[in-house]
Amino acid sequence: MSRIGKLPIAIPSGVTITVKDNVVTVKGKNGEMSQQLTGGIEVNIEDGQLTVTRPNDEKQTRALHGLYRSLINNMVVGCGEGYKKELELVGVGYRASNNGNVLELSLGYSHAIYIALPKEVKLTTKSERNANPLITLESCDKALLGLICNKIRSFRKPEPYKGKGVLFVGEQIRRKSGKSAGAK
């Protein structure tokens, strides 16, 4: 049995889950999400807990068992609490601002970078004097949030020599020393 797949999912208060025609729909205070189930995977709801079961022990079915359990758990947590990611711009002259759900980045290029974010993602930027600009992204969809964070990071990946780039808050960059000074 899959270690992840056999774990039950506790349904918090304020979150409702419906299963109809192999589609699991989760509704909560942060939004509504749905997931299509394939491969004979079944979902049972009883006593405030959701369990995912599989019909057989074929390799593909075992893989889908853990996958769908994780996806449903991410939907339950996202619709109940939500997900939040914070990015920090480290570098001289790096700036971030937003106009609604359009993010404007100045990352040392000759032009500004504009990114239109989907309506499911809530965007806030904070720029304070003597502090790195912060970008805060909130959403109920964990996969979408990670995709957007990686897209923003791809414009200036953290580099190990000066430590500049777009970093997650609290991320540590392993620094390299650069050229050795005493070589003759």
**109 pLDDT higher than 60:** yes
**pLDDT of res. 179:** 83
pLDDT in tens, 136-150: 999 999 999 999 999
**27 pLDDT higher than 60:** yes
- Cα–Cα nearest to 142, from 74, 67, 72, 79: 74
pTM score, whole prediction = 0.88
Task: Find out whether 137 and 84 touch, Cβ atoms under 8 Å.
Answer: yes
Taking all residues of the chain, what is their mean pLDDT, rounded to a whole number?
A: 92
Angle of helix 59-80 versus helix 142-153 axis, rounded to 10: 90
Compute the distance between CA of residue 42 and CA of residue 152 in angstroms, rounded to an integer.
Answer: 37
Tokens 């899959």 sit on residue: 2
Which amino acid is located at 176 in the chain? K
**184 pLDDT higher than 90:** no
SS3 36: strand
Tokens at residue 156, please?
Answer: 């200036």
